[in-house]
């Protein structure tokens, strides 16, 4: 088990430490433990067995209020689903959106390898379930229903961006 005053990682293993280091947040805490993902709409149609397996693959990540876990243009190292708390997304065109439990972020940078498309600021202490980049593609391959829901979300976000552009 690894622990330090700057990085209070409660998980173990090289990849967990690399993931946290890539996030670059000295206030970050990562814990490797099973999580209850059943209430998360993104995972709604998954079997209990698949949810349990997914919960073991994901890591619990805690960010304090004011943390900036995602900065536009930076490489993406993980996909996150908010379990508790709130975060605000700020896009390059000045739009803001509040995210809460069940909302997710980080998939675009992992899918297109173009870096993060927005900034995210934690508004209240936040707990998220995170899957690192190196497990994301396999996760989507094994769970096409989740991949389809992500496509729906990306489509909605694209429409919102197009509508915002038209109203300017």
Task: Write the CATH number for 59.
Answer: 2.60.120.10
Beta strands of 23-108 (E only): which ranges?
A: 29-31, 59-63, 78-84, 87-91, 96-99, 104-105
Mean pLDDT rounded to a whole number for the chain: 77
Phi, psi of 6 (to 5 degrees): -80, -35
Q: What's the confidence (pLDDT) of residue 166? A: 78
Asked whether residue 9 is domain-assigned, the answer is no
* In the predicted structure, residue 148 carries a pLDDT above the cut 70: yes
Percent of the chain with pLDDT over 70: 77
What does DSSP assign to residue 76? P
Asked whether residue 140 is domain-assigned, the answer is yes
Domain extent for 57: 14-158
How many whole angstroms separate alpha carbon 161 and alpha carbon 140? 25
Cβ-contact 126, 84 below 8 angstroms: yes
Domain count, the chain: 1
Asked whether residue 127 is domain-assigned, the answer is yes
- Identify the band that residue 30 occupies on the pLDDT scale cut at 50, 70 and 90: low
| pTM summary value | 0.73
Asked whether residue 165 is domain-assigned, the answer is no
Q: What's the confidence (pLDDT) of residue 146? A: 85
Asked whether residue 6 is domain-assigned, the answer is no
Asked whether residue 2 is domain-assigned, the answer is no
Asked whether residue 1 is domain-assigned, the answer is no
Q: Model confidence over 130-140: pLDDT tens digits?
A: 988 888 888 88
Backbone conformation region of residue 102, classed left if phi is above 0, alpha if psi is from -120 to 50, else beta = left
Asked whether residue 112 is domain-assigned, the answer is yes
């Amino acid at each position: 088990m690894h622990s330090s005053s700057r990085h209070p990682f409660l998980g173990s293993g090289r990849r967990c430490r690399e993931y946290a280091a890539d996030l670059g947040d000295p206030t970050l805490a990562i814990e490797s433990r099973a999580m209850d993902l059943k209430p998360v709409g993104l995972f709604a149609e998954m079997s209990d067995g698949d949810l349990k397996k997914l919960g073991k693959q994901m890591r619990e990540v805690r960010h304090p209020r004011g943390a900036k876990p995602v900065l536009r243009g930076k490489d993406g190292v993980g996909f996150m689903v908010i379990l508790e708390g709130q975060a605000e997304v700020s896009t390059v065109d000045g739009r803001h959106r509040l995210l809460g439990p069940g909302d997710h972020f980080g998939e675009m940078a992992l899918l297109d390898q173009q870096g993060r498309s927005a900034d995210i600021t934690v508004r209240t202490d936040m707990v998220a379930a995170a899957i690192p980049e190196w497990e994301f593609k396999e996760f989507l391959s094994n769970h096409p229903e989740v991949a389809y829901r992500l496509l729906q979300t990306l489509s909605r976000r694209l429409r919102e961006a197009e509508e915002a552009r038209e109203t300017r």
